[in-house]
Amino acid sequence: MKVYNFSAGPAILPKEVFAEASEAVKDFQGIGMSILEISHRSKEFQAVMDEAMALAKELLQVPEGYEVLFLQGGASTQFAMSSMNLLGEGETVGYVDTGTWSAKAIKEAKMYGNVNVLASSKEAGYDSIPKGFDVPSDVKYVHLTSNNTIYGTQFQSFPDVGVPIVADMSSDILSRPIDVSKFGIIYAGAQKNMGPSGVTMAIVKKDFVANPVRKTPTMFNYNTFIEKQSMFNTPPVFPIYVSMLTMRWVKKNGGVAKMNEVNTAKADLLYGAFDKSDLFYGRAKVEDRSKMNAVFLIKDESKAGAFLEACTAANISGVKGHRSVGGFRASIYNAMDINGVQTLVDVMTEFEKAHG
C-alpha cells in the first residue's frame, strides 16, 4: 500500500534511500556486519563521512574557508551552542522572530548576551516574513529561521544585513540554491529534508567560530569538530549514512537547482488549489508562502474531521495542522513527488464538491 506522508518531521525520504539503508542494516557493503555495528573508526565509515561532507559542499557550493560538520542534539542545541560560542557578555545580536523556533532560539541567546529583536511577525500570528528592518551598528550577527514549519512561511531570499547571518535551515536545507558566503553558520536538523532524526548538519565559516568568546565545554565548541572532522566522539553513524544516501539521491536527480524547480511546481499546484477553493484557504501571506510546509485552514471548522477522514481513506498521512495553529499542513519536502501533491489536491476538490 502506498501512503503519501505529508508529516512535518520525521519526514518522507526517497524510497531508494530506504531500500539501500535497509540492506546496510543487515549487511553493510558485503562485510558481514551491519552499518549499526561497524566501528566509526573503520575505513568503511570514514568513507561514508568523507562522502557526506563532500556531497554537502558540492550540492550547496560551499566556498573555501567553511567546514561541514555533523553534530548531535538537533537544532535546539544549536540555539544555545551558536550564541554560547559567538555572543559575549555585553555584546548584542539581532534576531528576526518569525515563529516558534526563532522564539526558542531567542530565549537561549538571552542567557549569553543582549538580544535585539530586529523584527517580528508575532502580532500578525506569524503569517508573514518581516522585511525592511534596520540592523544597528552594534549587532554582531543576525539570526533567522529560513523556513517556519508551523506557520508555513519562508524567506524567499536572504537579506543583506551587513554582518554574518546565523540561520536555522532545518526544514529547507537542500531544497534550493543558497549563497553560503552570506552566512557565518548554517545549521539543520536532518529529520525534515535530509535524513532521520539524530544528526544535525552545520556549515560553519572557520574564522567566524575560531575564537569562542567564552570557555565552552568541549562538546559545545565548534572547533572540536572542525579539528576532528566530526569524529571527536562516536558520531551518529546511521543518520549520517542515511543523510549521505539522501544527498547522493539529490545529486543524481539534478542537484538543489532541480529540487527547487520541482518544489516550486509542487507548491504552485497546492497553493493554486487553495486560491481557487471556496472552502480551503492558505494561512500565510502569498509572498511569503513556504515551498516546504503549506499550512491551510477550512472555512467551516465542523468539517475538519471529515476532511481528515477523507485524507486517510486516500492513504494520505500527516496533514493535521500543528496544535498551536490548527487546520492542516502539507509538508512537501524534496522526496514528496508531485503525484502525492496531486492526490491531496484531488481529495480537496472532491471533498469540496461533496461538502462545500
Name, in order, each residue with C-beta under 8 angstroms of 299's C-beta and a sequence gap of 6 or more.
278, 279, 280, 281
Grid cell in block for residue 82: 551558536
The gap from C-alpha 7 to its chain's centroid, in whole angstroms, comes to 13
Distance CA 267, CA 247 (A): 22
DSSP category for residue 320: B
DSSP category for residue 120: E
Q: Which of 101, 172, 266, 288 is catalytic?
A: 101
Q: Which of 97, 168, 172, 288 is catalytic?
A: 168
3-state SS, residue 122: helix
Cβ contact 111:160 at 8 Å = no
Cβ contact 46:181 at 8 Å = no
State which amino acid sits at residue 297: L
Verify whether residue 192 is a known catalytic residue: yes
Q: Which of 192, 205, 266, 291 is catalytic?
A: 192
Question: Considering just the CA atoms, what is the radius of gyration of the chain in Å?
Answer: 21
Which among 81, 72, 49, 105 is positioned nearest to 247, based on CA atoms? Answer: 49
Verify whether residue 179 is a known catalytic residue: no
Please report which helix (H) or strand (E) contains residue 76, including its range: helix 74-86
Verify whether residue 101 is a known catalytic residue: yes
Catalytic residues: 101, 168, 192
